[in-house]
Amino acid sequence: ASPEVSTATTDQDDDKPQVVDLTDTTQGQQPTATEEGEATLHVTNANEVKNDEASLTVEKINMEDKATGNTVGDENQPQAPINPWDPYARYKFPTLTLLKKYDTNANIDMDEIKANNARIIEVLNSFGVQISKINATVGPTVTLYEITPAEGVRISKIRGLEADIALSLSALGIRIIAPIPGKGTIGIEVPNKNPQIVSMESVLNSKKFQTTKMALPMAVGKTITNEVFMVDLAKIPHLLVAGATGMGKSVGLNAIITSLLYKKHPNELKFVLVDPKKVEFSVYSKITPHYMAALPENEDEPIITDVQKVVRTLNSLCKLMDHRYDLLKKAQVKKIDEYNDKFIHHRLNLSDGHEYMPYIVVIIDEFGDLIMTAGKEIELPIARIAQLARAVGIHMIIATQRPTTKIITGNIKANFPGRMAFRVASQIDSRTILDRTGAEQLVGRGDMLFLSGGDPVRVQCAFIDTPEIEAINDHIADQPGPMDPMELPEPDDPQAGAGGPGGESNLGSLDTFFDEAARAIVITQQGSTSMIQRRFSIGYNRAGRLMDQLEAAGIVGAAQGSKPREVLIADENTLNVTLAQVHGNR
């Protein structure tokens, strides 16, 4: 290596990661010291590394291109006989100008890098560990030092020196990766003294996020190499989030919600937000008609804060899950994207009750508080949804600040393969959330480990502030969209059924369309739920309840699978008598 030093000021784009080759020559092994007696130091831009230059990290670095245009949502409407965006095809996605830009000009602190390099080598040499080479990759908040040990050095020996290296560097959050997967090196992650803010704008304003084909893309931050870190919630398919108070957990949830709002149309995605603290998700109340799903009794307050309403909503989602599986079975497909593709291309019989299925993302904050107050009532429907709901597009994100085994039970852990760990209080908490140590050594303020199979990835979570969220919500609220939240089906009442099948309880509160629907069915002699949907422009769930009331009144027969129900009344005169009896008995 040349003894010259080329500084990072030659880099025109300061956001790009820098790869630093550090080779210590003060041990007398290589007589190539500079005139000042310093170690040979060579800094290169990741884009300018030639093939003949030894830099093990260059091949892994992928420079991020900016997004083209001012929106990252796909403005091109689906080209199909049925447009799933109808009747809100003129909806405009949020623009990138709604997000705040931060000054992220990254200046490499060469003094800091040289000092850390010297201390790492000094500590390792003092314990008899010889090194042949060090590469340093400078990220937004953490620098990764990749060590190539000399032959014959045991990895376990370096791994055991974690505390000694941390003491020498006087740094919090030292993490040793021994070895780095896919490389013949050992990694030492050292926090930067002057970390940068990773803004939500810098993450979403990338070609990678704009052109992604993921069903539910979550752009949560940037990795050590400054790449946008993005995962598909539909593939994970459920996510567990943990972190101590003030470590960035709520900001991480807001980053997930924001990235989904920037990519999905209101007809394609619905949220169920559970907020025991009552203030965390209240900022999203403006967009509840566009993006929320709720039970009819919760339509005034779709963001759930009451524990009993949480239990009813989760049971309702279980019922919706079963209904969607019935539709998938009729359509002879295995998962939601195949079903929706068939639907929009007119390959399904609409009279069988088929409808376009939006993805549903359930986000529960402070899960520990719910477990303490409701226990098994909460855990059972969550476990059922986590086990079965992936194929029908229902996904869960659960957050807690106390990742103990009483809260995150083995049953829940087994069905939540995605883990997002911010800094936690102890090694035990880290093992509970990640099945390994490491989360207790993070530096906080959005520093996290993301695990989704394989090894955890260290990510700096994107920062989004409340004024930015409010600006996005104001934009969405001004766009054409649904007037009410998506209606979830009434959950099965475990106490019901004592009064016999059907029961008079169905007639206790008749639907406002009851008489008109009865006349329409008797006149057409067609007991079809989808016919009621089309005739009165109501959702499937309400039409289904209406049919149950008509069955209880003796106007139509019992359900016969996919076939229309039998109409039990032949003429209007008989119907008038029946209706008079129904209204008289109430």
What pLDDT digit, counting tens, does each position of 273-289 carry? 999 888 899 999 999 99
Whether the pLDDT of residue 320 is over 90: the answer is yes
Whether the pLDDT of residue 342 is over 60: the answer is yes
Asked if residue 170 belongs to a domain, the reply is yes
> If you average pLDDT over residues 247-264, what whole number do you get?
95
pLDDT at residue 62, as a whole number: 43
Lowest mean pLDDT among 30-34, 79-83, 196-200, 273-277: 30-34
pLDDT at residue 507, as a whole number: 67
Asked if residue 88 belongs to a domain, the reply is no
Asked if residue 223 belongs to a domain, the reply is yes
Based on the fold, state whether residues 165 and 227 are members of the same structural domain.
no
CA distance 307 to 369: 9
Asked if residue 85 belongs to a domain, the reply is no
Lowest mean pLDDT among 72-81, 143-152, 383-392: 72-81
Question: How large a percentage of the chain has pLDDT more than 90?
Answer: 38
**Of 188, 210, 212, 192, whose CA–CA distance to 201 is shortest?**
210
Based on the fold, state whether residues 519 and 542 are members of the same structural domain.
yes
Based on the fold, state whether residues 148 and 180 are members of the same structural domain.
yes
Whether the pLDDT of residue 560 is over 60: the answer is yes
Residues composing the chain: 586
Whether the pLDDT of residue 3 is over 70: the answer is no
Based on the fold, state whether residues 176 and 52 are members of the same structural domain.
yes
Higher pLDDT, 555 or 9: 555
pLDDT digits (tens, 9 = 90+) for 370-381: 888 887 788 889
Where residue 506 falls among pLDDT bands split at 50, 70, 90?
low
Where residue 106 falls among pLDDT bands split at 50, 70, 90?
low
pLDDT at residue 55, as a whole number: 32
CA distance 240 to 218: 14
Where residue 195 falls among pLDDT bands split at 50, 70, 90?
confident
Where residue 133 falls among pLDDT bands split at 50, 70, 90?
confident
Higher pLDDT, 329 or 139: 329
The SS3 assignment for 39 reads coil
Per-position b or e across 272-282, b if 16+ CB within 10 A of its CB = bbbbbeeebbe
Higher pLDDT, 111 or 477: 477
Count of domains observed in the chain:
3
Whether the pLDDT of residue 33 is over 50: the answer is no
pLDDT at residue 180, as a whole number: 82
> If you average pLDDT over residues 506-520, what whole number do you get?
83
Per-position b or e across 224-248, b if 16+ CB within 10 A of its CB = bbbbbbbbebbebbbbbbbbbeebb
Q: Which residue has the tokens 């199909």?
A: 80
Highest mean pLDDT of the ranges 77-91, 124-138, 337-351, 483-497: 337-351
* Cα 199–Cα 429–Cα 146 angle in degrees, nearest 5: 55
Where residue 473 falls among pLDDT bands split at 50, 70, 90?
very high
CA distance 549 to 419: 45
What Å distances lie between residue 484 and 270, 276, 301, 341, 365, CA to CA?
Answer: 12, 23, 11, 26, 24
Where residue 544 falls among pLDDT bands split at 50, 70, 90?
confident
Q: Which of 161, 191, 221 is the last residue of a domain?
A: 191
Where residue 251 falls among pLDDT bands split at 50, 70, 90?
very high
Give the per-residue SS3 of 293-322. EECHHHCCCCCECCHHHHHHHHHHHHHHHH
Asked if residue 29 belongs to a domain, the reply is yes
Based on the fold, state whether residues 562 and 516 are members of the same structural domain.
yes
Based on the fold, state whether residues 356 and 405 are members of the same structural domain.
yes
**Of 220, 208, 198, 204, whose CA–CA distance to 397 is shortest?**
220
Lowest mean pLDDT among 63-77, 197-211, 352-366, 405-419: 63-77
Q: Where residue 207 sits, what CATH number does that domain have?
A: 3.40.50.300
By the 10 Å C-beta count (0-12 exposed, 13-18 middle, 19+ buried), 59 is classed as exposed
pLDDT at residue 384, as a whole number: 92
DSSP calls for 329-390:
HHHT-SSHHHHHHHHHTT-S-GGGT-----EEEEEES-HHHHHHHHTHHHHHHHHHHHHHGG
**Of 25, 30, 29, 22, whose CA–CA distance to 55 is shortest?**
22
Q: Which residue has the tokens 């040979």?
A: 40
Whether the pLDDT of residue 304 is over 80: the answer is yes
**Is-contact 464 252, C-beta < 8 A?**
no
Asked if residue 83 belongs to a domain, the reply is no
pLDDT at residue 77, as a whole number: 74
Q: Where residue 111 sits, what CATH number does that domain have?
A: 3.30.980.40
Q: Which residue has the tokens 């119907």?
A: 575
pLDDT at residue 17, as a whole number: 54
Helices (H), 181-248: 200-204, 207-210
Based on the fold, state whether residues 137 and 228 are members of the same structural domain.
no
pLDDT at residue 387, as a whole number: 92
CA distance 73 to 260: 9
pLDDT at residue 269, as a whole number: 95
Asked if residue 87 belongs to a domain, the reply is no
pLDDT at residue 231, as a whole number: 95
Q: Which residue has the tokens 């080759």?
A: 21
The two three-digit tokens of residue 343, written as one number: 């639907």
**Of 33, 61, 26, whose CA–CA distance to 47 is shortest?**
61
Question: How large a percentage of the chain has pLDDT more than 70?
Answer: 85
pLDDT at residue 226, as a whole number: 85
Q: Where residue 535 sits, what CATH number does that domain have?
A: 1.10.10.10
Based on the fold, state whether residues 213 and 331 are members of the same structural domain.
yes
Based on the fold, state whether residues 342 and 214 are members of the same structural domain.
yes
Based on the fold, state whether residues 482 and 513 are members of the same structural domain.
no
pLDDT at residue 44, as a whole number: 38
CA distance 563 to 547: 14
pLDDT at residue 2, as a whole number: 40
pLDDT at residue 444, as a whole number: 87
pLDDT at residue 104, as a whole number: 63
pLDDT at residue 527, as a whole number: 86
Whether the pLDDT of residue 272 is over 90: the answer is yes
**C-alpha dihedral sign at 456, 462, 463, 464:** negative
pLDDT digits (tens, 9 = 90+) for 429-446: 999 999 988 899 898 889
Whether the pLDDT of residue 162 is over 90: the answer is no
Continuous segment of H or E residues that includes residue 42:
strand 40-45
Q: Which residue has the tokens 């769930």?
A: 541
* Cα 13–Cα 17–Cα 23 angle in degrees, nearest 5: 125
CA distance 235 to 241: 17
Whether the pLDDT of residue 582 is over 70: the answer is yes
Whether the pLDDT of residue 350 is over 80: the answer is yes
* DSSP structure class, residue 8: G
> If you average pLDDT over residues 167-178, what whole number do you get?
80
> If you average pLDDT over residues 32-49, what whole number do you get?
38
Q: Which residue has the tokens 């003949």?
A: 52
Higher pLDDT, 146 or 77: 146
CA distance 378 to 311: 6
Q: Which of 459, 486, 513 is the last residue of a domain?
A: 486
Whether the pLDDT of residue 1 is over 80: the answer is no
Q: Which of 486, 509, 533 is the last residue of a domain?
A: 486
Based on the fold, state whether residues 176 and 243 are members of the same structural domain.
no
Q: Which domain holds residue 542?
A: 495-585
Asked if residue 101 belongs to a domain, the reply is no
Based on the fold, state whether residues 320 and 459 are members of the same structural domain.
yes
